[in-house]
Amino acid sequence: MDSSGADLDPADAAPSAYTGFLFRRAQQAHVAAWQREVSSTISSVQFGALSVLSRMPGSSQQDLCDELDLDRSTIADLVHRLERRGLIERRRDDADRRRNRLVLTGSGDDAFTELRPRVDEVERTLTNALSPDERRQLRALLTKVLAAAKDQGDASPPE
């Protein structure tokens, strides 16, 4: 069998022989661990936005699109929900009054600080069977697969 799975006999192939099946199962494991150990109210994508704003205060919605690899309508909804919860706020850009800049509120900074160790623990839980080199290799391979999917025009699904 080649690495693409293209020569699998559909009658003989177990679901785990398909990369897409493994992606789905890995995502299920991540969601379960996230809800159990991190938060049932702040999603991993929302945490990603808090993380970006912690690292890059004053980012625009476009900056979030680029950093999180999400489309504009998904980011607009995400920003609205985080703003409604009092975790971020919009501020007019002094240089371009048509543009908003996003910043963490005190509550948003507190939430990020509180959740960060839990997120790190989920990372360890999901990858504890791997060596440090294998973890780096896994991230590199997933990044390569996602870049190829993006090049092929596969859209990121909404949160």
DSSP letters, 38-95, are: T-SSS-HHHHHHHHHHHHSTTB-HHHHHHHHT--HHHHHHHHHHHHHTTSEEEEE-SS
pLDDT tens digits, 1-59 = 445 556 666 666 788 888 889 999 999 999 999 999 999 999 999 999 999 999 999 99
For the chain, the domains span 17-151
pLDDT tens digits, 85-123 = 999 999 988 888 888 899 999 999 999 999 999 999 999
CATH code at 17-151: 1.10.10.10
Q: What are 63's two structure tokens?
A: 């900056």
CB 104 within 8 A of CB 87: yes
pLDDT tens digits, 121-149 = 999 999 999 999 999 999 999 999 988 88
pLDDT attached to residue 150: 81
